[in-house]
Amino acid sequence: VFFNITKFKPDYTIDEESDLSKYGLDAEVIHLPGHSKGSIGVLTASGELFCGDLFTNTKKPEPNSMVDDLAEFNESIEKVKGVEVKMVYPGHGQPFPMNSYSA
């Protein structure tokens, strides 16, 4: 245990089937494991991906180097490359256009 965290009960839970329109967002949840088991992204209908720790962009757009499960992480990268993403908002660093990412 790294932190002293108080347990809490969440107000809402989500999964990959969650409809975010009832919260005022025209977006879907995408399960993006690899960095951690429960990692998710939120993909808007206009092609913006809020990807948490899947990507970073501190010097250039790249996959996060902190990975829990490399196989799942690589599958998540491929999943993102297979959907219509225009702009990526990483958990660390500046947003970047998906077409500027090359792996």
Q: What is the pTM of this model?
A: 0.84
Instruction: Say how many domains are in the chain.
Output: 1
Question: Looking at the domain assignment, is residue 9 inside a domain?
Answer: no
Question: Looking at the domain assignment, is residue 11 inside a domain?
Answer: no
Question: Looking at the domain assignment, is residue 29 inside a domain?
Answer: yes
The one-letter amino acid at 45: A
**Cβ-based neighbour number of residue 64 at 10 Å:** 18
Range of 75's domain?
Answer: 20-100
User: Which pLDDT does position 102 carry in this prediction?
Assistant: 76
- CATH no. for residue 57? 3.60.15.10
User: Which pLDDT does position 2 carry in this prediction?
Assistant: 66
- 2-47 pLDDT, tens digit each: 678 888 899 988 888 788 998 899 999 999 999 998 899 999 999 9
- 43-74 pLDDT, tens digit each: 999 999 999 999 999 888 888 888 899 999 99
Question: Looking at the domain assignment, is residue 6 inside a domain?
Answer: no
Question: Looking at the domain assignment, is residue 48 inside a domain?
Answer: yes
42, 29 in Cβ contact below 8 A? yes
